[in-house]
Structure 1
Amino acid sequence: MESNDTASALSAPGEDLSPLEQDVLDEYERLAENMQKLASLLDSMANKPTAEIVDGLRQLERKTSLVFTLLKASVYSIVLQQEIYSGANDGVGSDGER
């Protein structure tokens, strides 16, 4: 990975790095390694999905769909309330009468 090589090159002996800079580079290198492991694990899971993974994805899809529907309903309710409120204010005269 290119970013991993960059971190290794920057932390080469002979460089004048502060301890904090070295710690940041070390953490960056660990993060890059973990991301690489995660990517390879996800790749292997995607190429050979198990029944358990497929079932879990189906459940996730149903829950996501439900959340999306509830979100749309909430947004619709807010928009409707604003329209009712603005309609009520538009019809009121300066003396409070319609």
Structure 2
Amino acid sequence: MDLTPLQRSVLDRYETLSKSLHNLDDTIKNLRDNGSSESPEQVLRQLREIEYKIALVGTLFKGSVYSLVLQRKAAQDAAGNSGNTQ
């Protein structure tokens, strides 16, 4: 199956996100198993910061996709209108 460059880029980004989440999971497991000197409250605070960053990235990603969809629709509408005026 052939993918467009945009589809390949999106899949690559999802792959990167997946690897990052797996690394985060491994780090959390290591913290739990090694009896980290950090208190649970400190770990939760750090995880909240990560959660905010992930949410921000997700929001920016959704906004970018929405913007791209609107741009394509506007381009299609413009192409359709210019074809009707001839």
User: Shorter-chain-normalised TM-score: which range?
Assistant: 0.5 to 0.7
| Residues 31-87 of structure 1: CA deviation (Å, up to 9, x unaligned) | xxxxxxx79735526xxx622111000000011101101110110000000000011
Residues 39 and 77 from structure 1, CA distance in 2 versus in 1: closer, same or farther, beyond 3 angstroms? closer
Could you tell me which residue of structure 2 aligns to residue 79 of structure 1?
69
Structure with bigger RCO (C-alpha 8 Å, 6+ apart): 1
Q: Determine the C-alpha separation between the residues in 2 that align with 1:43 and 1:64.
A: 22
- % same residue: 34
Pick from 53, 62, 65 the counterpart of residue 52 of structure 2.
62
Gaps of 5+ in 2: 1-26
Residues 68 and 92 from structure 1, CA distance in 2 versus in 1: closer, same or farther, beyond 3 angstroms? same
Which sits farther off after the overlay, 69-78 or 84-93? 84-93
> 1:57 corresponds to which letter in structure 2?
L
Q: Give the TM-score of the pair, scaled to structure 2.
A: 0.53
Q: Give the TM-score of the pair, scaled to structure 1.
A: 0.47
Q: CA RMSD in A?
A: 3.1
Residues 72 and 86 from structure 1, CA distance in 2 versus in 1: closer, same or farther, beyond 3 angstroms? same
Could you tell me which residue of structure 2 aligns to residue 44 of structure 1?
33
Larger helix percent: 2
- Which segments of structure 1 move beyond 3 Å, counting only runs of 4 or more? none
Gaps of 5+ in 1: 1-37
- Describe the SS at the equivalent of 2:56: helix
Q: CA deviation at 1:93?
A: 2.5
> 1:41 corresponds to which letter in structure 2?
N
